[in-house]
Amino acid sequence: MTTPRARWTRDEHGIPQITADDIDGLYWGMGYCHAMDRGLQMLIMRILGQGRAAELLDGGDEMVEVDRFFRRMNWSEGVDEEAAKLDPDARVACQAYCDGVNARFAKSTPWELKLVAVRPELWTIRDTLLLARMTGFLTLAQSQGEVERLFVEMVKAGVSNAHLEALFPGSTSGLDRAIVEKVQLNERMVPEAVRWSSAAPRLMASNNWCVSGSRTASGAAMLANDPHLETNRLPNVWAEQSFRWPGGHAILVTIPGVPAPLVGRNEHVSWGATYTFMDAIDSWVEHCRDGKFRRGEGWVDFDRRVETIKRKKSESITETFWENQHGVLDGDPSGEGYLLATRWSGSFGGAQSINSLLRMWNAKTVPEGMIAYAQVESSFNWIFADTAGDIGYQMSGLMPMRPDGWNGFAPRPGWDERFDWRGFVVPSLLPRVHNPDSGMVVTANQDLNHLGEAEPINAPMGDYRARRIEQLLSERNDHDVDSFRAIQLDTYSIQAAEFMEILGPLLGAGPVADALRNWDCRYETDSVGATAFELFYAALLVEMFGPGCGAPVIEHLRDATGIFVDFYQNFDRVLVAESSPWLGDRRRDDVWRAALEKVSGETPVPWGQRNAITLDNMFFGGKLPRFLGFDPGPIQIRGGRATPHQGQMYYAGERLTSFTPSLRLVADMSEPVLHTALCGGPSDRRFSKHYKSGVQGWLDGALKVRKPPA
């Protein structure tokens, strides 16, 4: 179809192929096709980010809690000032994107919104910046905030420094327990707002790796990426699009509402992303009274922000938020007491990221890509491979500059100016590497501090996936698309293998022991051993940590939060240690035997029966009859928490969420194509043939070949 500033068709997979005479035209086409294929996704995300779900969608109490969460985050603040920071070229491109979105919405808007009498407002650059901030925080920086809040709760519960150090090394250095113990916590570590509408994606872990030509069959550099995001939803978080202009072409995977070449490739360079677990979120203990906070020896007024949450068919609610340079206060400072203020470094950004990513359309080398992505304000691990054979890695994100001796994990007194942020670390000090001697780079959310002068990570995810990928990459020097695809589908768990070295000699009789005895440590859907191991592991967490924290607390963390999903290796260090404060006067093997005994009588089912999801429609969320086809499934998911093909599920509040490779991507720089698989389809329209067109291929482990527009 020809539109005023771009032309688009669909390829054999239903993916938009967009051509234009210049980059601005490409952005117009990107916006038009985003609104056409993912308009509902964009508009619901905007409603959530604005804190208007109770006003526009449903006035019930649950939506009010959703709005409280987003109003507290206040991502809409300062977007006009931030928009003014866009470079002239970036501003023109972003406006072209908005014009494309609005041109499509002028023709039609999602019929679902008519059911709730919502008439969408025009899409603006403000909305783009809002979604960019949301994407950088949700679950990513949020997970760091949750584990830091857990630390505070543990201090207040009387967990000793020795116990805390065993879990979070370095966390008690410089800690003033007396101050933290005084803190009044008003927000639960996992507030009800984590149950928000499934339109807001839960983002999480990922794998990516790149290798030089010395390790490939083609002799060219190669790259792979599989972001582990929430997949039990339709549409998928990602939208695939391809572009051509007189200066070149690009085959991309984008996020609707965010006009940027996020992952994919152009003629010369390919790139992919994982989350870094950079600590970009800090808390301070504020001494409060009479609406003021102590600063040195004096008292200063908080900034008072009053928000009105409108409710459909109900009276509005007024909420007051108190803020200072340390962020938003958790509570009301009217009385005297100690409360936490929390700040995320990316709260008020966006323009710098868009400015820098504009360069990637015409980037020709890995160093160009590293320079561009180093300026992205949210924290990601970016890898690159180019047609010249170079590979590279660059961390991005706004890492706060803190005083020596404080890594940001545990809160510090807000009245002491020494603990104020003093700007952000320059990107050149963040972890990065260009053409390493090993000929490969692997990132899987592990600790990568050794690659930089700064140390941004204080609570990394486990390194099991990274170690397994490195192992598989090292086994051969003739990698190709098929070998990369096999690594993406790999379900072997180094975590399970290391645990089985301890558990094997302890096995007795019973169905769980029988299933574990000859298990190959793979999480295939027909594996009974994988289920048996997970039954044991769940019991072991309670058996080890229950005496120190209370069994109900550990069961809640295990069953209703992401703590054991994100930071499991912190707990694994304690679980396998022969000596630990958490053991007390117990022996490790006795704790393991007790956990095994608790599940010994259970009969494990095949892993796929236990590890299955339904792809719920983002708007109706499983509320419609199944025969209408809005919610396909259930589908069985291979993999576990520590396997390259991650297959992790847990409940957040009452909401089931899942982390699997929602997107798989492989680029062999010897050929001008991109190999991808998406759990979903191009469109969020239920009655489109592209609604779920990619699901079966994704389940089968197939990769489709994407070519640039003709």
What whole-number percentage of the chain has pLDDT above 70?
Answer: 96
Instruction: HSE, CB side, 13 Å, CA atoms: give it for residue 210.
Output: 33
Q: How far apart are CA 580 and CA 566, in angstroms?
A: 22
Q: Which domain holds residue 599?
A: 494-610
Clarify whether residues 535 and 679 are in a common domain.
Answer: no
Tell me if 2 is assigned to some domain.
no
Residue type, 374: A
Q: Is there a single domain that holds both residue 478 and residue 573? A: no
pLDDT tens figures, 347-389: 888 999 999 999 999 999 999 999 999 999 999 999 999 999 9
- For residue 142, the model assigns a pLDDT of 73
Q: Are 130 and 278 within one domain?
A: yes
Do 109 and 377 meet the contact criterion of CB atoms below 8 Å apart?
no
- CA 50 – CA 44 distance, rounded (Å): 10
- Higher pLDDT: 103 or 348? It is 103
Report yes or no on 3 lying in a domain.
Answer: no
Q: How far apart are CA 459 and CA 472, in angstroms?
A: 26
Percent of the chain with pLDDT over 90: 82
pLDDT of residue 654: 64
Q: Are residues 615 and 605 in the same domain?
A: no
Beta carbons of 345 and 281 less than 8 angstroms apart: yes
Instruction: Tell me: pLDDT of 617 over 70.
Output: yes
Q: What is the mean pLDDT of the chain?
A: 93
- Answer yes or no: is 506 within a domain: yes
Q: For residue 417, what are its two tokens? A: 């100016």
- Which letter, b or e, does each residue of 545-574 get, where b requires 16 or more Cβ atoms within 10 Å of its Cβ? bbebbeeebbebbbebbbbbbbbbbbbbeb
The pLDDT-based confidence of 197 (bands split at 50, 70, 90) is: very low
User: What's the number of domains the chain is made of?
Assistant: 2
**How many residues in the chain?**
710
**Amino acid at residue number 80:** D
Mean pLDDT, range 236-255, rounded to an integer: 96
Q: What is the CATH number of the domain that holds 543?
A: 1.10.1400
562 and 699 housed in the same domain: no
Do 532 and 401 have their domain in common? no
19-30 pLDDT, tens digit per residue, is 999 999 999 999
Q: Tell me how far apart the alpha carbons of residues 487 and 498 are, in angstroms, rounded to a whole number.
A: 20
Which residues is 298 bridged to in the sheet? Answer: 295
Whether 521 maps to a domain, the answer reads yes
**SS3 call for 368:** helix
Q: Do residue 428 and residue 348 come from a single domain?
A: yes
Alpha-carbon distance of 444 to 460, in angstroms, equals: 10
Residues 435-456: pLDDT tens digits?
A: 999 999 999 999 999 999 999 9
Burial class (CB in 10 A: 0-12, 13-18, 19+), 614: middle
* Predicted local distance difference test score (pLDDT) of residue 192: 37
Amino acid, single-letter form, for residue 677 = A
Q: How far apart are the first and last CA of the chain?
A: 14
Bridge partners (DSSP) listed for residue 293: 288, 300
Does some domain include residue 1? no
| pLDDT at residue 198 in the model | 40
Residue 240 and residue 183 share a domain: yes
One domain, residues 384 and 498 = no
pLDDT tops 60 at residue 189: no
Q: Note whether residue 634 is domain-resident.
A: yes
Is there a single domain that holds both residue 506 and residue 632?
no
With a cut of 80, say whether residue 49 has pLDDT above it. yes
Regarding whether 330 and 202 lie in a shared domain, the answer is: yes
The number of beta carbons lying within 10 Å of the beta carbon of residue 318 is: 8
Q: State the average pLDDT over residues 50-55.
A: 94
Residue 80 in any domain: the answer is yes
By the 8 A CB rule, do 256 and 32 touch? Answer: no
Residues 336, 195: Cα–Cα separation, whole Å: 32
Q: What is the mean pLDDT of residues 102-129?
A: 95
Contacts for 472-480: CB closer than 8 Å, 24+ residues apart: 472/644, 473/209, 473/211, 473/215, 473/440, 473/442, 474/440, 476/215, 477/214, 477/215, 477/216, 478/215, 478/216, 478/217, 479/211, 479/215, 479/216, 479/217, 479/222, 480/216, 480/217, 480/218, 480/222, 480/668
Final residue of a structural domain among 610, 638, 665: 610
d(CA 382, CA 92): 26
Structure confidence by residue, pLDDT tens digits, 131-151: 998 887 775 667 788 889 899
Same structural domain, 52 and 82: yes
User: For position 143, which CATH number holds?
Assistant: 3.60.20.10
